[in-house]
Amino acid sequence: MKQPKGLGRGLDAIFGGDAIDLDAKLKPMSRMAEIDIADIIPNPSQPRTQFDEEALDELADSIRQLGVIQPVTVRKADDGKYIIISGERRWRAAQRADLKTLPAYIREVDDETLYAMALVENIQRQDLNAIEIALGMQRLIDECHLTQDALSEKVGKKRSSVSNYLRLLKLPDEVQLALKEGLISMGHAKAIAGAPADQQVRLLKKCIRKAMSVRQVEETARTLVERPAQTAGFEEEEYPESYSRLVEQLEPYFSQNISIKRSKNGGGRIVIEFGDDADIDRFIERFSK
């Protein structure tokens, strides 16, 4: 069976060992208990910063009917409260469902492992956007005094992946916000990072307005670096966000550059570049599948 993509060794990188058995790992390190919801508090280092309100309401409805199926995982704090390691969505939804107690695994972990578990648990569930992942990694580095090599081991990601995430935090706030809100992909953000710092916001705007592919942003960034005088006033005509979404939908089918050209009367054309006749045959093959 193929290993799932994502965190590689994932939680096994935190607990250690060649193969992870969660039940075996939990028994000597935790105990189950029913805890008052009022005594449970969010993890202050929780990397996830956004919660879908509609999804929380749906989960609350499910909890009212079926109860909490999967316990949350917590750590007891010095003041007697319990800090959430994983399961903040369930805790929030349980509050909306007016539950008074919540089933929980009480774990005995240090701060470094607490932060790492919260980060890994969210990434494995694909709940975090790239900026939230980057912020979580940076917090692990700052508060647990980890090197990037140590962090890559802790969360089971390649050293290059860790560097790419952390590099996002050096981008202008506008670029980080666009990535966080899904207006651009991480590939777009990495390409924008290759442009001169004073041109990155302008390149972001052009990327969104012109519905540029990652490859087109990379080429533009390279041109801005190599020939800045010729590109100082590159066009920034405003295009709807839907143009960008269309290009993203087409990119999986075409490895070539894709662009949308709009005319003054509101019409336009979609341009798909190709190198030779063999590219046409490959297009036909992809569509036939």
Active-site amino acid positions:
88
> Which has the closest alpha carbon to 192: 212, 171, 177?
171
CA-CA distance, 213 to 251, in Å (whole number)?
Answer: 7
CA-CA distance, 36 to 101, in Å (whole number)?
Answer: 4
CA-CA distance, 8 to 155, in Å (whole number)?
Answer: 8
The continuous run of DSSP H or E covering 75 comes out as strand 72-76
> Which has the closest alpha carbon to 126: 5, 22, 43, 12?
5
What residues pair up with 261 in beta bridges, in sequence order? 269
Burial of 56 (0-12, 13-18, 19+ CB in 10 A): middle
Mark out the alpha helices in the chain (DSSP H runs): 12-15, 22-29, 53-66, 88-96, 111-124, 130-144, 148-155, 159-168, 173-180, 186-193, 200-209, 214-226, 241-250, 277-288
Tokens representing 173 are 């706030």
Please report the sign of the dihedral spanned by the C-alpha atoms of residue 112, residue 113, residue 114, residue 116: positive
Residues 120, 10 contacting (CB under 8 angstroms): yes
